[in-house]
């Protein structure tokens, strides 16, 4: 399961984020359950939490009865990385959201990529392709732990 912040793409779904639509299509083509925390862009086969409220990661997990250890969040801000940590979900961050790599890592992001196109280029080697291999992320602590 992949939880992707709609904030990375903008509310009008214009191609603001390089590779954004392609990343969503590829994740769906691989059979991964993709949940967007915001409105669904037209023509993309993903689930959405249209009104995620204050806890978008929790809302996305509840939508599909997902388990945190089987999910990966794709975030674009320190705030979104921290939201994933609160629920024990490992996180891949994109600098295109506005925050810098060191800030995103300090917040608990396991991987940081320039944008969705850069993540798509290394998708097979990314955390998105192997969430269980990463192990557990303790809620609230942000530190990756194996086991």
Q: What is the pLDDT of residues 61-78, one digit of tens each?
A: 888 887 888 888 888 889
Q: Name all contacts of 11-14 with Cβ < 8 Å and 24+ positions apart.
A: 11/38, 11/39, 13/39, 13/41, 13/42
Contact present, 2 and 35 (Cβ < 8 Å): yes
User: Per the confidence metrics, is the pTM higher than 0.85?
Assistant: no
| pLDDT (tens digit per residue) in 16-46 | 567 887 888 888 888 888 888 766 667 766 7
Look up residue 73 and give its DSSP letter: E
**Tally: H helices and E strands in the chain:** 6, 8
């Amino acid at each position: 399961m992949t939880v992707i912040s709609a904030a990375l793409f903008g509310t009008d779904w214009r191609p603001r984020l390089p590779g954004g639509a392609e990343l969503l299509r590829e994740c769906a083509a691989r059979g991964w359950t993709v949940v967007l925390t915001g409105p669904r862009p037209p023509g993309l086969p993903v689930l959405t939490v249209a009104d995620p409220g204050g806890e978008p990661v929790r809302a996305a997990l509840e939508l599909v009865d997902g388990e945190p250890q089987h999910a990966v969040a794709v975030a674009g801000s320190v705030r979104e990385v921290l939201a994933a940590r609160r629920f024990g979900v490992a996180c891949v961050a994109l600098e295109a959201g506005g925050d810098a790599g060191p800030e995103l890592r300090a917040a608990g992001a396991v991987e940081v990529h320039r944008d969705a196109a850069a993540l798509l280029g290394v998708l097979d080697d990314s955390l998105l392709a192997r969430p269980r291999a990463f192990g557990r992320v303790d809620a609230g602590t942000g530190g990756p732990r194996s086991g």
